[in-house]
């Protein structure tokens, strides 16, 4: 079976800086693959490169076997890739409903998904008319994830969902991401190794712009030496 | 929320001040009414130039220095279509001057939209990676527009001679004659403010624009082609400015100074209101329009005839000194 | 010892700078060369106890002086825009302000003419510096566009103010009648010619030294990426203020020369064309290069002079170049911004750099594969 996403040896520059110097990663259809690495290793840039926001200059990216590298971000999104950026990039001046509506790719997308979204994040239903900027950090993160669920996506790219959130909220989010991964494949960037190991079935490690290692999460968890070496956590 | 209250207080104070000065200057309630109406008229024209400028700046980070030129071109096109002679002479085909005026305004809007489209699609678009040059480019376009107008219509200003119904009629109030046409333009301006406001608040394209003002990249990542929204918004902004020039032409005539004059006034509006804020632009237009009308009144009979022309610049300088983010905006 | 060590270096310096030195010699001798060719006196014609400025040599001197003034203006613009990345839409503000200050000193004060000249010039330049600092201080902390807007607004305000101010005779402006005879371009133009030439060369050398100094390195860092310059520990605001202050003062120098050359002060000095011209000349010549503004300003000025009386024939319709000169410039401007962003000098430098890099890289395989 073709994997949902195949990244092959991509190189990405930001300005004059060579950020990605050969990153490869495979996301298998169904379930969650976690992208791991130290700060500044290039995890966010990898997601942005896949999304077409910082296009790679070399290498290839295949979505379900179709090349998407070199395409513009909106085209890639339309092909079924949802993006949940770091720092909860929701639109603060738009209401929760407008945030969700904006993500529609065809009329009725939101109505179709509303039940599932509110089942995952019951809070949002209550807040539907509030401006995004008035939401708490956790609620904003839920909105950002919910927004990616509005259109029919094949793959979600989620960047650091747990960053800066209280433990109770993180548990809620873990549960929600676990549930939605039953419907859509996920590539997740997560610094918090506890969260990452709980969610991911597979992992890819990048180290200063290169992909270093990949495999099954179950194997990584057992190998303290590897974790120490690449992630600096015990 | 606190900053919103301070801006409301600021608006209130400026308004009271302007109305107070207007009241002191006027001899009768009729005089006061005239000042008010001419301020509102000026304010609505300013809004028509500033609206596109502000939204375009918020969405695309481009300050269109050619926005005033679209106003000027609109005035010339409307003048040309309405009157005998010139490039387009419709006096024989459409003898009714009222109907011809409608056609003249439509022609101005079309020309404005066409030039706006060309500027965004073929010139600005190649420069999105070099923002400083976009500013320089729009500045250059304003020069070319001015020179083109001079080349086609010469530098002699035209004043409107064609009579048509609304233009000539007036009504009396408090012993003063008020021009119906000005009132009509003010009404139309208010209708447009509301219409554009509703478009921004309610429609999908409006939601996209407001989202784009906040974070273009994320809008793109949601599968929306932001560039085509840019083109649409830019074209619309230029068309609205040309519309403003066309409806102003029966009063202001057509002259080569319209472009730079309205550009600076519109910049004052946009900075006063807060760059990229639609509500700010609407409020700012009224305030700057009133300020100019009051300054005109004040300057009558004094040796300082330059006051009304300097007023928008004075306001701009003051706002930048006191509160560069404007009434409703963010300056960084 | 020192002599022996120095001489080879000096010889190398001479060879490296042969072209500028030749040009310098040519410009110094220019009044006499034109005089010899056209058989006219570089000093003008004696009429009684006065000199009359008639003849080809003095005429060409004033054409060159005009070019020098525009070159100084363009160089000052380039310091700001090209080297620091700060864009101004009101450069005429400085040009006109110093002009008005000098004019007011000469015509409206009772002090001795020579003293008034020096005080006026100094005061004008200082005022330009102060004005630039104030404007910079207010706007440079904001987005770049605010500086552009603010300079535009202040320039327009000054323009309107001076075109209505009765004391300076409003739109008509006033003539300069009192100038020391040794400087007066209508009596001893050649002196003024050499003064202007000196001003151009000093400005050129000054800007070069400034930009090549450590401060200049920060200017360029700001132009490339201000946030990064800030994060390297530089107070970028101070450096931007420094750049705009010098740019304002140098534009003021150009304004002084303009007023002396035309012996007239009027609001046109503050008009938009003295903002547009340096911008255009800098872009066409090559922004962020030392010689770009010189070539841009000199070239455009000579084109203007030569084409002023020319006509083109478009299918029977004869159009005077003078009527469409501004339109042509505008179109060239837009084209330059879009397709020729490095200007003449910038493009040439890039081309040179590419040509020189090739022989250094002996990559026979790659070269064979490429061509």
Please give the Cα distance from C284 to C287 (Å, whole number): 8
pLDDT given at position B194: 94
Chain B, nearest residue to A147 by Cα: B222
| DSSP tag of B158 | B
Report CB contact under 8 Å: B210, A94: yes
Here the tokens at position A212 are 């270093």
What is the percent of chain C where pLDDT is above 70?
Answer: 93
Q: What is the mean pLDDT of residues A13-42?
A: 86
What one-character-per-residue DSSP string does B238-292 give? HHHHHHHHHHHHHHH-B-TTHHHHHHHHHHHHHHHH-TT-HHHHHHHHHHHHHHH
Is B268 in the C-facing interface, judged by CB distances under 8 Å?
yes
Q: Report the alpha-carbon distance of residue C15 to residue C11 in Å, rounded.
A: 6
SS (H, E, C) C287-320: CCCCCHHHHHHHHHHHHHHHHCCCEEEECCEEEE
Query: How many Cα atoms occupy the beta-carbon half-sphere of C319 within 13 Å?
Result: 13
Q: Using an 8 Å Cβ cutoff, are A87 and B233 in contact?
A: no
Has residue A234 got a pLDDT over 60? no
| Helix/strand/coil for C180 | coil
Phi/psi of residue A22, nearest 5 degrees: 110, 80
User: From residue C225, how far is each of A94, B135, B246, C229 by CA, in Å?
Assistant: 32, 18, 43, 6
Distances (CA, A) of C246 to B316, C72, C84, C126, C249: 25, 12, 12, 10, 5
Token code pair at residue B320? 């930048």
3-state secondary structure of A9: strand
- Spell out the domains of chain A, with CATH numbers in brackets: 5-231 (3.40.50.300)
Rounded-to-integer distance, Cα C324 and Cα B190, Å: 41
Strand stretches in C93-243, DSSP E: 174-175
Cα A225 from Cα A234, distance rounded (Å):
8
Q: Is the Cβ of B318 closer than 8 Å to some Cβ of chain C?
A: no
- Helix axes of C273-285 and B131-153: crossing angle, nearest 10 degrees: 120
With CA atoms as reference, report the closest residue to C53 among C188, C177, C173: C188
Q: CB contact, 8 Å: B315 with chain C?
A: no
Query: Do the Cβ atoms of A109 and A125 come closer than 8 Å?
Result: no
A93 neighbourhood in chain B, CB within 8 Å: 210, 213-214
Give me the pLDDT at residue B68, please: 93
Q: Please tell me the distance in Å from B231's CA to the nearest CA on chain C.
A: 18
Q: C interface mutation test: which of B67, B136, B138, B303 has the most C CBs within 10 A?
A: B136
- Asked if residue C2 has pLDDT above 60, the reply is no
Nearest to C31 by CA among C231, C260, C265, C194: C194
Separation between Cα atoms, residue B34 and residue B26, nearest integer Å:
9
- Taken in order C249, C250, C255, C260, the sign of the CA dihedral is positive
| Contact flag C87-B321 (C-beta cutoff 8 Å) | no
- Contact of C185 with C263, CB cutoff 8 Å: yes
- Per-residue confidence at A95, pLDDT binned at 50, 70, 90? very high
Query: Which residue is listed with tokens 């720092």?
Result: A87
In a domain, C368, yes or no: no
* Ramachandran quadrant class, C355 (left: phi over 0; alpha: psi -120 to 50; beta: rest): alpha
* B222 → closest Cβ in A72, A98, A103: A103
The answer to whether B30 and B302 are in contact (CB under 8 A) is no
Is the C-alpha dihedral spanning A174, A180, A185, A187 positive or negative?
negative
- In chain B, the domains with their CATH numbers are 2-322 (1.10.3470)
User: C170 lies in a domain?
Assistant: yes
CB nearest C341 (choices: B133, B140, B324) = B133
pLDDT score of C10: 67
Tell me, what's the pLDDT at A224? 81
The CA distance from B28 to C62, in Å, is 60
Short-list C244, C211, C221, C237, CA closest to C80: C244
d(CA A40, CA A54): 15
Q: What would the two tokens of residue B71 be?
A: 């106003």
> B267 contacts in C (CB within 8 Å)?
149, 152-153
Q: Do B214 and A151 touch (CB under 8 A)?
A: no
- Per the CB < 8 Å rule, is B215 touching A147? no
What pLDDT does residue B31 have?
80
- B147 and A CB contact within 8 Å: no
pLDDT, average across residues C213-236:
87
Q: Which residues in chain B land under pLDDT 50?
A: 1, 331-332
Nearest to A80 by CA among A153, A7, A161, A164: A153
**Concatenated DSSP letters of C34-45:** HHHHHT--TT-E
> Which residues in chain B have Cβ-Cβ distances shorter than 8 Å to A85?
218, 221
User: B309: which chain C residues are within 8 Å (Cβ-Cβ)?
Assistant: 160
Helix (H) or strand (E) holding C51: strand C50-52
Strands (E) in chain A, as ranges, are 5-14, 17-27, 32-36, 58-63, 66-67, 81-84, 155-159, 185-189, 202-207, 210-216
Residue among B4, B221, B277 with most chain A CBs within 10 A, to mutate = B221
pLDDT at C362: 38
pTM, rounded to two decimals: 0.85
Domains of chain C: total: 1
Contact C138, C72 (CB under 8 A): no
Write down the mean pLDDT value for chain C: 86
> Which segments within B103-196 are labelled E, that is strand?
170-173, 176-179
From B209's Cα to the closest Cα of chain A, the distance in A is 10
Cα(B149)–Cα(B69) distance, integer angstroms: 10
What is residue C79's predicted lDDT score, i.e. its pLDDT?
Answer: 94
What is the Cα–Cα distance from B115 to B118, expressed in whole angstroms? 5
C-alpha gyration radius of chain A: 17
* B152 in C contact zone (CB under 8 Å): no
Please tell me what DSSP assigns to residue B157.
P
SS3 A35: strand
- Give the gap in angstroms from C-alpha B37 to the nearest C-alpha of chain C: 26
Interchain contact, A53 vs B210, CB within 8 Å:
no
Residue C181, domain member (yes or no): yes
Side-chain-facing half-sphere of B140: CA atoms under 13 Å: 27
**How far, in Å, CA of C218 to CA of C216, rounded?**
5
Q: What is the dihedral of CA B255, B261, B262, B264, to 10 degrees?
A: 160
Quote the CA–CA distance of B17 and B119 in Å, as a whole number: 40
What's the CA dihedral at B324, B326, B329, B331 to 10 degrees?
-10
Domain membership of residue C15 (yes or no) is: no
Q: Which chains touch C (3 or more CB pairs under 8 A)?
A: B
Q: Which of B126, B133, B264 sits opposite C153 (nearest CB)?
A: B264
Q: What is the CATH number of the domain that holds C324?
A: 1.10.3470
Instruction: Assess if residue C371 is contained within a domain.
Output: no
> Where is pLDDT greater, at A55 or B94?
A55
Closest alpha carbon within chain B to C155: B313
What pLDDT, on the 0 to 100 scale, is given for residue C207?
Answer: 95
pLDDT at C357: 65
Alpha-carbon gap, residue C103 to C269, rounded angstroms:
12
- Measure Cα distances from A65 to A61, B72, C230 in Å: 9, 54, 45
**B157 close to B253: Cβ distance less than 8 angstroms:** yes
**Across the interface, do B147 and C143 touch by the CB < 8 Å criterion?**
no
C245 contacts C293 by C-beta, under 8 angstroms? no
For residue B25, give Cα distances in angstroms to B42, B288, B299. Answer: 19, 18, 10
| pLDDT at residue B332, rounded to an integer | 41
Question: CB B266: neighbour CB atoms within 10 A?
Answer: 31
- A to B CB pairs, distance under 8 Å: 58
**CB atoms < 10 A from the CB of C134, how many?**
13
A73 touches chain B (CB under 8 A): yes
Mind giving me the DSSP string for A207-229?
ETTEEEEEEEHHHHHH-HHHHHH
Chain B residues with CB-CB distance to C282 below 8 A: none
Comparing CA positions, the residue from A2, A12, A61, A69 lying closest to residue A210 is: A12
pLDDT value of position B167: 66
Q: How many CB atoms lie within 10 A of CB C93?
A: 31
Q: Give me the domain span that covers residue C98.
A: 27-363
Gap between the Cα atoms of C56 and A142, Å rounded: 81
The least confident of B79-93, C18-32, C146-160 is B79-93
Interface B-C: count of C-beta contacts within 8 A: 103
The share of chain A scoring above pLDDT 70, in percent, equals 99
Residue numbers in A near B220 (CB within 8 A): 53, 72-74, 77
């Amino acid at each position: 079976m073709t994997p949902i996403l195949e990244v092959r040896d991509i190189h990405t520059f930001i300005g004059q800086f060579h950020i990605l110097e050969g990153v490869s990663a495979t996301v298998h259809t169904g379930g969650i693959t976690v992208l791991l690495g130290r700060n500044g290793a290039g995890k966010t840039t990898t997601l942005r490169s896949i999304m077409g926001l910082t296009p790679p200059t070399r290498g290839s990216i295949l979505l379900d076997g179709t090349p998407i590298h070199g395409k513009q971000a909106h085209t890639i999104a339309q092909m079924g890739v949802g993006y949940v950026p770091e720092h909860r990039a929701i639109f603060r001046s738009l209401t929760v409903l407008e945030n969700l509506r904006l993500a529609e790719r065809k009329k009725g997308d939101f109505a179709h998904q509303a039940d599932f979204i509110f089942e995952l994040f019951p809070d949002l239903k209550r807040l539907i008319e509030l401006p995004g900027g008035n939401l708490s950090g956790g609620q904003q993160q839920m909105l950002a994830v919910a927004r990616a669920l509005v259109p029919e996506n094949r793959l979600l790219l989620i960047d650091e969902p747990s960053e800066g959130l209280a433990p109770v909220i993180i548990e809620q989010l873990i549960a929600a991401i676990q549930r939605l991964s039953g419907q859509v494949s996920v590539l997740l960037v997560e610094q918090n190794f506890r969260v990452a190991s709980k969610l991911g079935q597979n992992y890819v490690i990048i180290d200063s712009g290169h992909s270093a290692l990949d495999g099954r999460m179950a194997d990584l968890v057992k190998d303290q030496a590897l974790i120490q070496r690449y992630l600096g956590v015990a | 929320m606190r900053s919103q209250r301070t801006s409301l207080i600021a608006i209130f104070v400026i308004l009271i001040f302007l109305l107070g000065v207007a009241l002191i200057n006027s001899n009768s309630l009729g005089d006061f009414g005239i000042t008010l109406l001419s301020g509102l008229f000026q304010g609505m024209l300013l809004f028509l130039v500033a609206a596109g400028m502000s939204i375009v700046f918020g969405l695309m980070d481009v300050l269109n220095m050619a926005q005033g030129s679209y106003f000027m071109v609109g005035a010339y096109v409307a003048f040309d279509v309405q009157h005998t002679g010139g490039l387009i002479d419709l006096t024989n085909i459409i003898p009714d001057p009222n109907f011809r005026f409608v056609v003249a305004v439509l022609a101005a809007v079309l020309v404005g939209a066409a030039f706006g489209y060309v500027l965004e699609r073929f010139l600005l678009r190649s420069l999105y990676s070099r923002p400083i040059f976009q500013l320089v480019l729009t500045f250059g376009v304003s020069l070319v527009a001015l020179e083109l107008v001079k080349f086609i219509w010469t530098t002699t200003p035209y004043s409107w001679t064609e009579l048509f119904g609304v233009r000539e009629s007036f009504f009396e109030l408090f012993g003063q004659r008020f021009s119906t046409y000005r009132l009509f333009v003010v009404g139309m301006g208010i209708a447009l403010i509301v219409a554009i406001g509703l478009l921004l608040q309610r429609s999908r394209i409006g939601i996209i624009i407001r989202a784009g003002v906040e974070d273009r990249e994320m809008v793109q990542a949601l599968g929306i082609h932001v560039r085509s929204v840019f083109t649409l918004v830019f074209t619309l902004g230029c068309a609205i400015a040309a519309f403003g020039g066309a409806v102003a032409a029966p009063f202001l005539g057509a002259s080569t100074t319209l472009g730079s004059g309205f550009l600076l006034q519109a910049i004052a509006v946009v900075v006063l209101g807060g760059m990229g804020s639609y509500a700010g632009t609407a409020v700012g237009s009224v305030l700057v329009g009133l300020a100019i009308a009051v300054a005109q009144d004040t300057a009558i009979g004094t040796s300082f005839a330059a006051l009304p022309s300097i007023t928008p610049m004075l306001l701009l300088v003051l706002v930048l000194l006191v509160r560069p983010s404007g009434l409703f905006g963010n300056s960084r | 010892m020192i002599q022996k060590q120095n001489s080879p270096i000096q010889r190398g310096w001479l060879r490296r700078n042969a072209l500028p030195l030749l040009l310098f010699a040519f410009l110094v001798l220019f009044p006499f060369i034109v005089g010899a060719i056209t058989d006219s006196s570089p000093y003008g014609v004696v009429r009684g106890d006065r000199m009359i400025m008639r003849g080809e040599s003095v005429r060409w001197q004033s054409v060159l002086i005009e070019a020098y003034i525009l070159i100084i203006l363009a160089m000052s613009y380039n310091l700001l825009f090209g080297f620091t990345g700060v864009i101004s839409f009101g450069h005429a503000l400085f040009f006109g302000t110093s002009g008005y200050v000098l004019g007011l000193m000469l015509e409206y004060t009772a002090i001795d003419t020579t003293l008034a000249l020096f005080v006026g010039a100094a005061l004008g330049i200082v005022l330009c510096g102060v004005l630039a600092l104030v404007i910079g201080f207010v706007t440079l902390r904001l987005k770049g566009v605010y500086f552009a807007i603010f300079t535009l607004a202040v320039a327009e305000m000054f323009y309107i103010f001076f075109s209505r101010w009765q004391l300076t005779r409003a739109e008509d402006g006033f003539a300069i009648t009192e100038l020391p005879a040794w400087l007066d371009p209508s009596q001893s133009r050649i002196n003024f010619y050499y003064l202007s030439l000196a001003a151009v060369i000093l400005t050129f050398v000054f800007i070069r030294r400034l930009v090549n100094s450590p401060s200049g390195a920060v200017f360029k860092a700001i132009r490339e990426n201000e946030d990064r310059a800030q994060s390297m520990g530089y107070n970028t605001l101070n450096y931007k203020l420094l750049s705009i202050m010098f740019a304002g003062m140098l534009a003021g120098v150009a304004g002084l020369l303009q007023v002396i050359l035309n012996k007239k002060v009027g609001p046109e000095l503050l008009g938009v064309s003295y903002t547009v011209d340096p911008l255009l000349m800098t872009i066409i010549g090559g922004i962020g290069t030392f010689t770009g503004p010189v070539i841009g300003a000199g070239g455009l000025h000579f084109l203007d002079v030569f084409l002023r009386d020319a006509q083109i024939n478009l299918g029977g319709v004869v159009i005077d170049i003078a009527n469409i000169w501004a339109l042509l410039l505008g179109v060239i401007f837009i084209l330059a911004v879009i397709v020729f962003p490095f200007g003449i000098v910038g493009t040439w430098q890039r081309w040179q750099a590419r040509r020189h890099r090739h022989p250094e890289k002996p990559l026979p395989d790659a070269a064979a594969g490429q061509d």
